[in-house]
Structure 1
């Protein structure tokens, strides 16, 4: 999102970019599990229909869906038609983080330009890679991590290929990726990292005004 907005600003204007903070309530897992997770609103603009399409395309992968929304009936119908989809309408925050920790990957296929994807940062906090739509601020959360965790469009083939790649890497590569996800969270999204970034911005701003 920052890269999209910066060209619209007055040239030479000082700009600082600081990500949001996400509480460190997770328990990082280096192993993960064998499920594909989705946590969020069950609305079309969040990409839930893409998730259901992927579940049909990948019948050998378990899909764990958590949330409520306008597409609940579609999700309910999908659980009745496909044995690999499990839907839980509500979970408390600790349960959500535990579910994320035991997933191989969290899907964030948002169809709109989200300024920040909190659920993606929460996934990183427990070591789980988030596979995100490269729109708005989502891509900035995972860009630079191994295995190209951004997807450029809603084409199911692109998403299914990247999901399968994450399932087919070695156990050692999985553990390393999860370590790097956690390190990304610790470096950018913890409350302490957020506070340090804010202090640095204020210090820089004060130096500029003398």
Structure 2
């Protein structure tokens, strides 16, 4: 088999909250097609909820645990496309894990990329009230309902909690291979009870946009979602202590946008630019002394960190989860103690003079591990491994 036929399954996030996950799906799809593989899509868009009738809107949370209509639509799509393999990314909220049953019925092997921790945590973050939370791991997700972990609402949390409870075994029995996007994520999921034999590490890749830093950079940069778990409040506290001698630029949108904008407006060395498109984001990265990613939750990857490395720009990151895996402290960037503003302030003060050397090393690591060439090789190898295992399994069944 030379070229593969792949059916990609993804529920796209709301456009008002841009998602790195959507970007990964788009980039993998384009990469496979450019390499000559046939890729078809089975998609739903969360933006469509806004235009639904009131009755349909009411039905959305009821169908989060299991959507029979999505199962039937998925089965029809499989019959039309006849893929070699199905690659699932996100099924929430308009598909549900019912799409896995369609694959089982059609006898098509499934791989799934795990972009977060939804296999063991209803909200996928392992984060609550400013710190790491494992209250629901390996047990009933009732704590998530009690604390209103999804959107701050117990009622809104019920559907995602029920989905986790009802579908955990469906995922584990229906998916031939899960792609974890970092070794740190894989280790966490294995420790949480997921079958180790189903989990493989496949980093996200980042296209080389050609925007390389010239000189030492003009500012420190935060680029991403403006949310508490991303460490924005930690960064603001650390900045007032650090005063590193270069400005701070903050770009993005999210729940803390108004708070961040007000804080920035009171400081001459901070500039808040709001949500930017990808081209503007790449330009901001290419003129940065360093990118700052102070997440207080355990990131499963760090797309902005790898994008910075591609531009020859180092990162200052929290020393846990995937961020500590992506940044070698003192080699390709600096790490700080998670949740510690004094440690982050010290890293912000130190990074400027080290930036040229750290940035060159970050670029070298990008070339070795995160380019599209490497990403395509690992993605196709993962598909072929699953298909090979499926042939062996079917052969064994035929002999019986």
Name which of structure 1's ranges 193-202 and 42-51 shifts more when overlaid on structure 2: 193-202
Aligned residue for 1:197? 378
Aligned residue in 2 for 1:17: 201
Following superposition, the deviation at residue 54 of structure 1 comes to: 2.4
- Correspondence list, 1:70-81, <5 A: 70-81=255-266
| 1:175 correspondence with 2:389 | no
Q: Is the 8 A contact 2:264 2:270 kept in 1?
A: yes
| Aligned mates of 2:277, 2:333 — CA distance in 1 | 30
Listed one character per residue, the Cα deviations across residues 175-209 of structure 1 (whole Å, up to 9, x for unaligned) are 33212111211222221111122344456664898
Does structure 1 residue 41 correspond to structure 2 residue 222?
Answer: no
CA contact (8 A) 2:249 2:272 kept: yes
CA distance in 1, matches of 2:219, 2:259: 20
Q: Is the contact between residue 21 and residue 194 of structure 1 (CA under 8 Å) also seen in structure 2?
A: yes
Give the Cα–Cα distance (whole angstroms) in 1 for the partners of residues 359 and 391 of structure 2.
42
Once the two structures are superposed, the pairs formed by residues 28-177 of structure 1 within 5 Å of their partners are: 28-29=212-213, 31-59=215-243, 60-143=245-328, 146=331, 149-169=334-354, 174-177=355-358
Residue 71 of structure 1 deviates from its aligned partner by: 1.4
Q: State the SS of the aligned residue for 1:69.
A: coil
Cα deviation for residue 139 of structure 1 reads 1.8
The verdict on how the C-alpha distance between 1:115 and 1:57 changes in structure 2, with shifts beyond 3 A counting, is same
Q: Which range moved further: 128-137 or 140-149?
A: 140-149
Is the contact between residue 107 and residue 132 of structure 1 (CA under 8 Å) also seen in structure 2?
yes
- Whole-angstrom distance in 2 between the partners of 1:92 and 1:116: 21
Larger RCO: 1 or 2 (CA < 8 Å, sep 6+): 1
**Structure 1: 5+ residue stretches without partners:** none
- C-alpha separation between the residues in 2 aligned to 1:144 and 1:109? 14
What is the distance in 2 between the residues matched to 1:99 and 1:56?
22
SS in 2 for 1:88: strand
Are residues 100 and 127 of structure 1, via their aligned partners in 2, closer, same or farther at CA, if it must alter by over 3 Å? same
Bigger Rg, structure 1 or 2: 2
How far, CA to CA, are the matches of 1:56 and 1:176 in structure 2?
A: 26
Q: How many residues align?
A: 205
Structure 2: gaps of 5 or more residues: 1-184, 393-400
8 Å CA contact 2:315–2:332 kept in 1: the answer is no
Output the CA distance in 1 between the equivalents of 2:362 and 2:390: 35
1:140–1:208 distance in 2 versus 1, CA, 3 Å = farther
For 1:77 and 1:48, the matched residues in 2 are separated by 13
